[in-house]
Amino acid sequence: MKVHHLDCCTMHPLGGRLVSGRGSIFDRCKLVSHVVLLESSEGLVLVDTGIGTADVADPERRLGKAFLTAAKPELDPGRTALRQLERLGFRASDVRHVVLTHLDLDHAGGLADFPHAKVHVFRAEHEAATSRVTRQEAQRYRPIQWAHGVDWVLHDVAGGERFFGFERVRAIVEPEILLLPAHGHSRGHAVVAIAHEDGWLVHAGDAYFHHDEVADPPSCPAGLALFQRLVAHDDAARLANQTRLRELKREAGGRVRVFSAHDEEELAAFTGG
């Protein structure tokens, strides 16, 4: 299975070393939106989408003023998953499945670019995003991003066989892609494990933001740590997931590569950027 690592929304929030761990606190940082494109036996699979072409064309309506002001995303249509896979010689209709870590606007904005794909997400996340019963959920989800109509495949958390301490649900291409429950950042957040030639790639989504959070010993820039606490649906569960990810790295050694959605150094390790 061939794997492509893409940045589908570069963001530049303020915070400097409080967010990135380096520079002045008045500097703008760089956060990426790490999307994985898989050439699988069932066609193309996307893990997350970043923002989409419609978001770039009408950002204030689809992304909201608060996100645009705080995140300062680069609104470049060429960075969208659709345009990047077209440059690789594919079409939107080649994407058969989209697997989402969660439905936050910078992870699900590209759904409208792939209207024929089955979209896999945990049922709890779908309920959170569509009901938006809390003030926090009303802010983080943008229903306009899936208002075109989505072929949802909703997964319940299942017991049984485990994956390095995580319960596991087989999703998409069995046994190559697994959807693992990791609620905390959001109500139905997932980690996605991808079987690869030398082991597993583990897309942790927003279970953590900075690579040092899954180091031994862990650490995180103060501003980024505060942000994660403030936006977490269940902060204790979020921190427990980080512990499980650190344990996974220790136990699996070189057989597992863990990466998050927004760390530019982790993305660069795959792309050479």
Residue with token string 């697994």? 178
For the chain, what is the mean pLDDT? 94
Q: Rg of the chain's alpha carbons, rounded to an integer? A: 17
Q: Does domain 2-271 have CATH number 3.60.15.10?
A: yes
Where residue 13 falls among pLDDT bands split at 50, 70, 90? very high
* pLDDT for the residue 6: 98
- pLDDT for 273 beyond 90: no
pLDDT for the residue 230: 96
Q: What is the average pLDDT across 67-86?
A: 97
pLDDT at 212 (0 to 100):
97
Residue-wise pLDDT tens digits, 176-218:
899 999 999 999 999 999 998 889 999 999 999 999 999 999 9
* Beta-strand relationship, 190-196 and 177-181: antiparallel
Distances (CA, A) of 138 to 10, 15, 59, 229, 244: 23, 25, 18, 17, 29
β-pair partners for 43: 40
Once rounded to an integer, what is the mean pLDDT over residues 43-68? Answer: 97
Confidence at residue 170, expressed as pLDDT on a 0 to 100 scale: 72
pLDDT in tens, 214-250: 999 999 999 999 999 999 999 999 999 999 999 999 9
What pLDDT shows up at residue 129? 98
pLDDT of residue 63: 97
| Opening angle at CA 205, ends 183 and 70, nearest 5 | 100
What integer pLDDT is reported at residue 172 of this predicted model? 67
DSSP 115: T
| 158 Cβ neighbours under 8 A, 6+ residues apart | 167, 168, 169
Task: Give residue limits of the domains in the chain.
Answer: 2-271
Q: Which of 66, 60, 55 is nearest to 111 (CA)?
A: 55
More confident residue, 254 or 69: 69
Q: How far is residue 37 from each of residues 57, 73, 95, 189, 193, measured CA to CA in Å? A: 23, 21, 9, 19, 13
Render pLDDT for 124-181 as a digit per residue (tens, 0 to 9): 999 999 999 999 999 999 999 999 999 999 999 876 678 888 887 776 676 689 999 9
